[in-house]
Amino acid sequence: MQRFILREKQIFIRKWNKFSRDPEHFFRDSRKPLLQAIGRFLVLQRRATASLIPCRTTGSATAPVHAGVAPPNISVIVPIFNAPEALEKCLESVVRHTTLPYRLVLLDDASTDDRIEKILDTCRNREHILIERNPANIGYTKTINRGIALTGTDDVVLLNSDTRVGPRWLQNLFIAACQDDRIATVTPLSNNAGAFSAPLRCGFNELPEGLSFTEVSRLVNQHSLGIYAETPTGNGFCLYIRRKALDEVGGFDADTFPRGYGEENDWCQRAIGSGWRHVIDDRTYIFHQQAASFGPERESLLRKGRKHLDARYPGYSGQVKAFLNSGEMAEITNSMHTLFTAGASGRPPVRPRILFVISSETGGTPQTNADLMQALRTWCDPCLLISDSRTIRLKDCSGAKPKLLEQVKLSEPIRAGEHTSPEYDRLIGQFLIKYAIELVHIRHLSWHSLNLPAVAKCLGIPVVLSFHDYYMVCPNTQLLDENLAYCGGRCTASPGDCRAQLWDKNEKPELKHRWVHEWRGKMTRVFADCSAFVTTSRTARNVFTAVYPELDEKEFAVIPHGRHFEQIRTPAVTSRNSGKVRLLFPGNLSFHKGLDLINRLKESDREDLFEIHTLGKLSFNGNFRLHPKIIVHGPYRRSEFHVQVDRIKPDFIGIFSIWPETFCHTVLEAWSVGVPIITTGWGAIGEHIANWGGGWVIDATDADRMFREVKAISDSPREQELKKKEIRVWQHHCRSTVTEMASNYRRLYEKFISHSYE
């Protein structure tokens, strides 16, 4: 394969040299051998380097903003004259696909079609929309000059009313403008915008068969080269203009170009004379109907405009020719040609990209996140960002196996005190741009920079933040003090300090009553940059809103974790070969998971009535002594749970957590194999029992009382049968599947992410 690619590359170079003197001619004709050679080479190169981002795409962009620094105000100016159908589609696309903060300025140049006023009426009374109507028709150029004056100090985007925009369009233009302080304008690619048309330049391009415009826009965004080719002029169909350049160069020449067609070329040439540059953003593709307002006058206006330009700027034609013949434009055109002609079977899938952020790849949260990404893969392309405070890894999880896209070791690790890293922030900004991320879902922020939501927000990317433990309330994630007493987010009065489980004990100041307040101040700033919040139980949500009341006013969903079980087993009477009651305690057990309570239960079992088993890893300090009669089975794989239960044959499954877990998979696992649970009832576990039954909540404040309650349960066959009936109901009406979880998350994401509507 590599030899074949090299041969095709050599053919490409030979034919490029042969035809380079007249590129405009052969680019118009897809039958030319050079264009065919280019297409073959790019397709083979993509296959050889297959990944989420093929070839050399988007490697040059840098993040234009820093955490906490907002981008400039941007006003999108839409001049209007009749063409109501086109206007309606334009406005719908702008509202749907613009996620960067903006102001929409609608300027009606005295339209004669009554339907325009009706469309504008639907936009009134919206804070970010300004509507102005000229008393009489003053022409396109005076109208846009008026719009520029109305926008104050904003950067502006001139957008024709016969266009449609796609996902990330505005942030892409903004990012392109920020690549150099002397970039005055940015023009995107289009299906129909003269020299900015692609893949066929100076002509109309049909969209690839089977794709909506939104999908085409996303396809180009995700697989562009990110070249930012320099051009002698922009194009007014969609033109991003920096305010600094407007202040220096002035407005458009409305006397010479009153109806348009030439005014932007003239302005761009004046800007070049003042040391400014103009670039193309090949990440952005905008549909342009063209001539919806001017109709048959267009050709006449074009000729008049070009005559004035040639007279003022004798070298302009040569600049345009050099631009059209440039290698960079050839690269852009060839890449687009490959994308458009690949066909459904050879084309990369076109789905929004979502970045999931976790801190570890082991444990319950990463496993559930993997389930979610797997379930969403037909709707989005999931990427995974992992940090251990020293190394950042980015993976493409859209295929059957994850692929490593980026791995960077930070020059300085992220530490608990600051919990930020300018180096991390810069890298994440680049990743978000490079891989065209449309939404960030933070599953856990430990070992990441707290500025991650701010960086995403500055790039117009919505952020969903999950709470899987109480890390955002206190770095003591279970809210247990030094005596393992639950504090509920309010520091207990005991004199000892609490431990931040996920950080080195030497990396944090004194937590209890002191640094915890600074910590919560940091988290409040994080919340301000998020679009929505999620947790997995109502109890957990109540803990967060009690500490942060402002969260009650925001989008805050409760979405339980889902599980796919290989089999659901109807509850049955368990045989007791030894005559003892068998209690199984599964999971990685530590003190906060009730290991001490399990030990005390067995110590109170003086008649040796209970046979207690543990299944999973045990964590405890050297002073703790596990009761010798507790049977330890060691770690197990999640997929093997039912096999282990078959082997142990428990009568009950115990869950003795001493803190309100935000969710508990063990409850669902127990019910999937038909075994009722005995629990202390904290948090989500108590909610499960309240909603479905299927077990008992006991009082664990006293060991002997705990023993008596467990014995009473084991001595009551009628109670056991009732709980098994409740488990059967749960099994029949179970809504806790991965599919259901993914559907709930997708509905949440679609409130913030652009999606197709054509």
Same domain, 124 and 93: yes
36, two tokens: 């065919």
pLDDT of amino acid 505: 67
pLDDT grade for 519, boundaries at 50, 70 and 90: very high
Structural domain boundaries, residue 386: 353-558
Same domain, 475 and 532: yes
- CB of 176 closer than 8 Å to CB of 186: yes
pLDDT in tens, 310-320: 789 988 889 99
- CB of 357 closer than 8 Å to CB of 443: yes
Same domain, 335 and 367: no
pLDDT of amino acid 69: 54
Same domain, 238 and 377: no
Total residue length of the chain:
758
- CB of 473 closer than 8 Å to CB of 479: yes
Same domain, 423 and 517: yes
Same domain, 186 and 334: yes
Considering Cα of 115, then 119, then 122, then 123, what sign does the dihedral take?
negative
pLDDT of amino acid 49: 36
Query: Structural domain tally of the chain?
Result: 4
How many helices (H) and strands (E) would you count in the chain?
Answer: 26, 22
Partners of residue 584 on adjacent β-strands: 613, 653
Q: Is residue 756 part of a domain?
A: no
Q: Is residue 167 part of a domain?
A: yes
Q: What is the dihedral angle through the alpha carbons of 413, 419, 425, 428, rounded to the nearest 10 degrees?
A: 80
Q: Residue 423 belongs to what H/E stretch?
A: helix 422-434
Q: What is the pTM assigned to this prediction?
A: 0.86
106: helix, coil or strand? strand
144, two tokens: 């846009």
Same domain, 593 and 449: no
Nearest to 668 by CA among 537, 558, 561: 561
Q: Is the pLDDT of residue 446 over 90?
A: yes
Same domain, 170 and 80: yes
505, two tokens: 């004990």
Q: Is residue 433 part of a domain?
A: yes
Q: Is the pLDDT of residue 546 over 60?
A: yes
Q: In whole numbers, what is the pLDDT of the chain averaged over residues?
A: 86
Same domain, 659 and 702: yes
Same domain, 549 and 636: no
pLDDT grade for 644, boundaries at 50, 70 and 90: very high
Nearest to 681 by CA among 704, 706, 703: 706
pLDDT grade for 51, boundaries at 50, 70 and 90: very low
Which CATH number covers residue 98? 3.90.550.10
Which CATH number covers residue 643? 3.40.50.2000
Q: Is residue 571 part of a domain?
A: no
By percentage, how much of the chain surpasses pLDDT 90?
66
